[in-house]
Structure 1
Amino acid sequence: MSPRPKVALDKNTIMIAAAELANEHGSEYITLAMLAKKLNIKPPSLYNHFDGLPGIKREMAIFSLQKLYISLAEEAEGKAHGDEAVLALSRAYLSFARTNPGLYEFALSAPDPADEQVHAAGKKIVELVVSAIGPFKLSEEDAIHAVRGLRSLMHGFASLEHKGGFGMPFDLDESYKLAVTALIRGLKKSS
């Protein structure tokens, strides 16, 4: 048997491999053995970078939230706040969920939501959305309710679509846009 080729192993390389596995098979597929196999290393090598599987899952939650934030921020960049920005954020959110299903699962299922780094990564997303809805002149409390409502709408749609819950032959993107637009209209009326 020939020796394994040397792999330049660092946290980012491991996160990228874990993301590929998660996107191909789902977040529950991530195990030390499967990740080591993908990286062509022995499982104990992962302990040089992480505190076992819980450490990898924690880092995957942070990594996924950061990737989601980048996707949202890039889409919102240059857009005026308000309707246009909220629609752009919602499109980016759904696109991220569609193209990164495993990362999306990790972004939603942080092992310890009280973890400071997980919380900070999630907070950046909330702040981005709060900024986008700024022109609706909502109180701080109402803005948080609005962010929760928008997140629920986006996640619900992404989840139903992923599970094949929309069987009728109508354009899904149009349905999604109409739902987000209806929420925006409601926010404007309550401001």
Structure 2
Amino acid sequence: MARAGLSREAVTALALRVVDDGGPQGFADLTLAKVAAAAGVATPSLYKHVGSLADLRRSVAVVAVDDLTRAAAAATIGRSGPDALSALAHAIRGFAREHPGRYAATQVSPDLGAQADDPLSLAGAESVAVVAAVLRGFGLPEASTVDAIRAVRSAVHGFVSLELLGGFGMPDDVDHSFEVLVGLLVVGIADLARPATS
């Protein structure tokens, strides 16, 4: 019998705690057994509230994406152009450093063919909308928006992932390198927005 008061929301909250406690590998190492132990119940008791580990991971991902979106939106509101892009990049990096397990969860993609009201799809769309709003400040043509979003996400995610996993072993200042990356992104996005000359 499930512990009194246990619900899908409560199970997700416990899973988030397990993810947070696990550091950068917290999301990858998430198991139903760990969540059940945190809940003080047997693992089969969780199936009353979540369908599977994959189902629980998606619930964790929805919360994580919402958290990251709020952080990005708060950092970029009232800013535009290079200032907004810099604030966005720093907000993503700051979130990843503070919540590495949750950051890993933000990389879960919605299932192909998911319903329009799928929570993870909706959360992901809101997150992308924040990035798109930042990039609109550069006057990007509509046809280049998706490319720019992918470039920014890939660059910042690559840097952050390497940093979290200890991939920068040289003694040079990592913060300075991140500023160089942000500067390159600003120049690149501005160039993408520049009208082509014949």
TM-score (norm 1): 0.88
Show the 5 A alignment for 1:51-62. 51-62=51-62
One-letter identity of the residue aligned with 2:19: A
Helix, strand or coil: the match of 2:170? coil
Give the Å deviation of 1:162: 1.3
CA distance, structure 1, for counterparts of residue 113 and residue 65 of structure 2: 14
Helix, strand or coil: the match of 2:34? helix
Paired residue for 1:97?
96
Give the Å deviation of 1:52: 2.3
Report how many aligned residue pairs link the two structures.
186
The answer to whether the Cα contact below 8 Å between 2:73 and 2:130 also exists between their aligned partners in 1 is: yes
CA distance, structure 1, for counterparts of residue 5 and residue 54 of structure 2: 22
Show the 5 A alignment for 1:146-161. 146-161=148-163
One-letter identity of the residue aligned with 2:66: Q
Show the 5 A alignment for 1:70-85. 70-77=70-77, 79-85=78-84
Give the Å deviation of 1:80: 1.7
1:168 aligns with 2:167: no
CA distance, structure 2, for counterparts of residue 84 and residue 160 of structure 1: 24
The answer to whether the Cα contact below 8 Å between 1:7 and 1:39 also exists between their aligned partners in 2 is: no
1:122 aligns with 2:95: no
Task: Give the gaps of 5 or more residues in structure 2.
Answer: 194-198
The answer to whether the Cα contact below 8 Å between 2:110 and 2:121 also exists between their aligned partners in 1 is: no
CA distance, structure 2, for counterparts of residue 29 and residue 167 of structure 1: 25
One-letter identity of the residue aligned with 2:16: A
Give the Å deviation of 1:151: 0.4
Question: For 2:5, which of 1, 4, 8 is the aligned residue?
Answer: 8
Helix, strand or coil: the match of 1:133? helix
Helix, strand or coil: the match of 1:165? coil
One-letter identity of the residue aligned with 1:158: V
Q: What do the CA deviations read for 1:46-96 (whole angstroms, capped 9, x no partner)?
A: 22221122221121121211111111112223x322111111111110111
TM-score (norm 2): 0.85
Paired residue for 1:179?
181
Paired residue for 1:3?
none
Helix, strand or coil: the match of 1:119? helix
Instruction: Point out the structure with the larger helix share.
Output: 1
Question: For 1:24, which of 1, 21, 25 is the aligned residue?
Answer: 21
The answer to whether the Cα contact below 8 Å between 2:50 and 2:56 also exists between their aligned partners in 1 is: yes
Task: Give the gaps of 5 or more residues in structure 1.
Answer: 1-5
Quote the sequence identity (%).
32
